[in-house]
Amino acid sequence: MTTTVDPENSAAKTTRPEDERIEGTVFTPRQVGMLKIAVVVMGILLLAGFAAVIAGLIYQASKVGKKVPAEATVAAPPPDPVAMERAASSALQALSIPGDGEVVSMSLDGQRLALYVRSREEAEIVVVDLTTGKVVSRVKIDKDAPPAQ
């Protein structure tokens, strides 16, 4: 007795619908479904993130004009009148510069003031301590000296 096997109906040729590839892609219908779900979930997460950022901006902007409660602030001590008078009396009253000299620029750094003074013959940088009113240093600038190496 001989049996014939129909090649079109053989078990080796039969495929399940979920294993079939979609024409023109390498994806199965199940994989495409999973991709759709992932895209929707990620889109929702993006929208939620944007909403959180906008809510944070609105929250921070609403706090801008509000005052802090009085007990939360640290009050600065009142100024000492004796120290202020001493500082005012020791303030720089005059700075000697050459007759044709001029202050070209100045720079403030904390309690120090640096003045760039230039005349026809020389140039110098004068550093003044603003708390004591005294000249801390004078740095002469030699125009004819070779540059330091």
Residues 49-70 have pLDDT tens digits of: 999 999 999 999 988 877 766 5
Please give the span between the terminal C-alpha atoms of the chain, in angstroms, as a whole number: 109
User: In terms of Cα–Cα distance, which of 82, 91, 87 is closest to 134?
Assistant: 91
How far apart are alpha carbons 105 and 144 in whole angstroms?
Answer: 22
Residues 6+ apart with CB under 8 A from 132: 90
pLDDT at position 10: 55
Residues 6+ apart with CB under 8 A from 95: 115, 126, 128, 135
How far apart are alpha carbons 115 and 118 in whole angstroms?
Answer: 10
Task: Please tell me the pTM assigned to this model.
Answer: 0.38
Q: Which residue has the tokens 């020389």?
A: 122
Count of all residues that appear for the chain in the document: 149
Residues 6+ apart with CB under 8 A from 27: 21, 35
Residues 6+ apart with CB under 8 A from 17: 29
Spans of the chain below 70 pLDDT: 1-18, 68-76, 82-94, 145-149
Torsion of CA 97, 98, 102, 103, to 10 degrees: -20
